[in-house]
Chain A
Amino acid sequence: MSKARTSLSRTTVVHLALIAYTLISVFPVFLTLINSVKSRNAIFRNPMQLPTAETFDLVGYTTVLGQGDFATYFQNSLIVTVVAIALVLLFGAMAAFALSEYRFRGNTLMGLYLALGIMIPIRLGTVAILQGMVATGLVNTLTALVLVYTAQGIPLAVFILSEFMKTVSDDLKNAGRIDGLSEYAIFFRLVLPLVRPAMATVAVFTMIPIWNDLWFPLILAPSEATKTVTLGAQIFIGQFVTNWNAVLAALSLAIFPVLVLYLLFSRQLIRGITSGAVK
């Protein structure tokens, strides 16, 4: 009986802690959302207040959507993020498979070399990257961003995925080899489905920094046609006047695509965990 009570109080404590954490992390998002539908005066006077009948104002959204190019910015952000995630997952998983599955000379060294990228920020190489992009004529293209983000995401992907791939049973892969599956088929059809939860984790960790990045879009692709949402929202932040309505509206809109992507991946994550692999 006492055991039941302890576990009840323990779950209460755990839940309180989790709820507190949720509130803290959701609060800024909540603030952004409510203020994005308030008039300018209301934002400054009562930032914490929920929008009321008088203060409700969609001017931010009309400005942003009226700007016309915002659809393009969204599209650019989505293209860059989705393509970069796909490439990171594909090449990261392939490299991880090679490193964890095959014995070859320089295996460990190669693993360390790839892990180095986790520790050294890619921004240190900005000048060289820019020079490279100029030389190849890729400045102001989405390709430039995709390439940079792919490079940025691969080290972590290789690191996480190779650990997971080591846990996939050798017998299963060997059974595939005896059944005549090629190494590619073993990778795509046996191993990848089993490391799906890890893939989802990697996808989420890769996605957020890409979506939020301001640095590389500003340097590599600042043209009107290639602007991303984060860069696009900057036009409302002036040196002297900032159009807060528009900034908040743009940020609120920017949350949704990434939220959808996140939900997609986390469903995979949960499904992967609950379905369980067969021994």
Chain B
Amino acid sequence: MGSLQLQSVRKSFGPVDVLKGIDLDVEDGEFVIFVGPSGCGKSTLLRIIAGLEDTTSGSIRIDGAEVSAVPPARRGIAMVFQSYALYPHLTVKDNMGLGLKQAGTAKAVIEERVRKASAMLSLEKYLDRRPAELSGGQRQRVAIGRAIVREPKLFLFDEPLSNLDAALRVHMRLEIARLHRELKATMIYVTHDQVEAMTLADKIVVLDGGVIQQVGSPMELYNRPANLFVAGFIGSPAMNFVEAARLGDGGAKTLGIRPEHIALSRESGEWEGKVIHVEHLGADTIVYLESDRVGLLTVRLFGEHHYAPGDTVHATPAAGQVHRFGADGRAIH
């Protein structure tokens, strides 16, 4: 239980086509992450799956059953929002229990499920507080608890951690990964955060302009991006792109090399260039250089390195790590 199929799902707001035919299969128990630039339709797609928004055309199946005409509460889904969206006048306990109460679940069952969920999220101490009396992280845990008690087939998360500070975000990320392991539920998760996407996902869906650019495991996307957009979007710092003609590669239009796949040397190498800026991150050193042959390059070196702006260096791409893209932007393998 908990699979999802989308077939040519389209959505227009008036004359604006936001989703232009989305096909997607999510298997039971998978953790799927939607990424993409702002405004590409991630939230819209999530709201369509939840039933908060109608499709313009296309079909949505949850566990094989068509749900286009089913109201949100009966789709067997639960959603966690970026803004928490807790009911301000209800206690934590009632916030979590409301959905079950509306569905007519027996009181004892509600109590039991709320108890279990709050134990899972260490919220026992706060059950009688109102949302206004909780910290941001606690509120987000309550929001997740509210989703858990419904025991949904499908969890939907819309940027649940983006209102939290960095340290708390890491903590909650681990928490969500643990929940996924314990509940074995299907989860669909929207995020802007590359690290969240790469670490949590079984499968990443890259969206741009209302179209799915590529679907794959994090490593597939990293190692074999299907097109220029995915290549530039996944990975940080972003991939270097070089016009193939400058390097005499007639078969491709653009070559892509990840910053971590370039070696630097002061003595010799393929491309000579001048260092223009250096960022020291402790574990990594990011060197920006300008080369006559290939233009601006970003290089990521592991550990500490003492390059300074103005130094002349030689860069060499790692063998077999150069991505080639044709004139249409698609990868050539």
Contacts and interface: CB of A to CB of B under 8 A. Distances in A.
Interface of A: 169, 171-172, 174-181, 190, 193-194, 275-279
A180 B99 contact: yes
Contacts of A277: 88
Contact of A193 (B78, B89, B103): B89
Given A179-B73, A180-B99, A181-B102, A174 B88 contact: no
A169 B143 CA distance: 15
Nearest to A169: B83
Nearest to B139: A278
B132 A278 contact: yes
Contacts of A180: 73-74, 99, 102-103
B98 A276 contact: no
Interface string B76-108: 011101111111110000000011001100000
B88 A177 contact: no
Nearest to A182: B102
Nearest to A103: B13
A194 B131 CA distance: 14
A172 B95 CA distance: 12
Interface string B136-147: 000100000010
Contacts of A171: 81-85
B43 to A, nearest CB: 10
A177 B89 contact: no
Given A169-B83, A276-B132, A178 B88 contact: no
Contacts, number: 66
A265 B50 CA distance: 39
A120 B134 CA distance: 48
15 contacts: A169-B85, A171-B83, A172-B83, A174-B52, A174-B81, A175-B86, A177-B51, A178-B52, A178-B78, A180-B103, A181-B98, A193-B88, A278-B88, A278-B132, A279-B83
B47 interface: yes
Contacts of A179: 73, 98-99, 102, 146
B72 A177 contact: yes
Nearest to A181: B102
A161 B131 CA distance: 25
Contacts of B81: 171, 174-175
Q: Which of A193, A277, A279 has the most chain B CB atoms closer than 10 A to its own CB? A: A279
B79 A175 contact: yes
B102 A174 contact: no
Nearest to A193: B89
Contact of A172 (B51, B85, B103): B85
A275 B98 CA distance: 22
B73 A175 contact: no
B83 A178 contact: no
Contacts of A172: 83, 85-87
Contacts of B87: 172, 175-176, 190
B50 A178 contact: yes
A176 B83 CA distance: 14
A176 to B, nearest CB: 8
B47 A178 contact: no
A169 B88 CA distance: 12
Task: Rank and list the top 5 A-B pairs by shortest CB-CB distance, nearest first.
Answer: A180-B73, A180-B102, A179-B99, A171-B85, A171-B81
B88 A194 contact: yes
B239 to A, nearest CB: 35
Contacts of B72: 174, 177-178
Contacts of A193: 88-89
A181 B187 CA distance: 23
Nearest to B156: A178
Contacts of A190: 87
Contact of A174 (B85, B86, B99, B146): B85
Nearest to A176: B87
Nearest to B143: A175
A55 B74 CA distance: 76
B132 A178 contact: no
Contacts of B89: 193
Nearest to B78: A178
B99 A279 contact: no
A277 B84 CA distance: 13
Contacts of B74: 180
A190 B79 CA distance: 18
Contacts of A169: 83, 85
B82 A178 contact: no
A171 B74 CA distance: 18
A256 B146 CA distance: 48
A178 B79 contact: yes
Contacts of A177: 51-52, 71-73
A171 B132 CA distance: 17
A39 B88 CA distance: 56
A187 to B, nearest CB: 14
Q: Which of A175, A177, A180, A181 has the most chain B CB atoms closer than 10 A to its own CB? A: A175
A275 B78 CA distance: 29
A32 B207 CA distance: 72
Contacts of A278: 84, 86, 88, 130-132, 139
B132 A175 contact: no
B301 to A, nearest CB: 42
Nearest to A276: B132
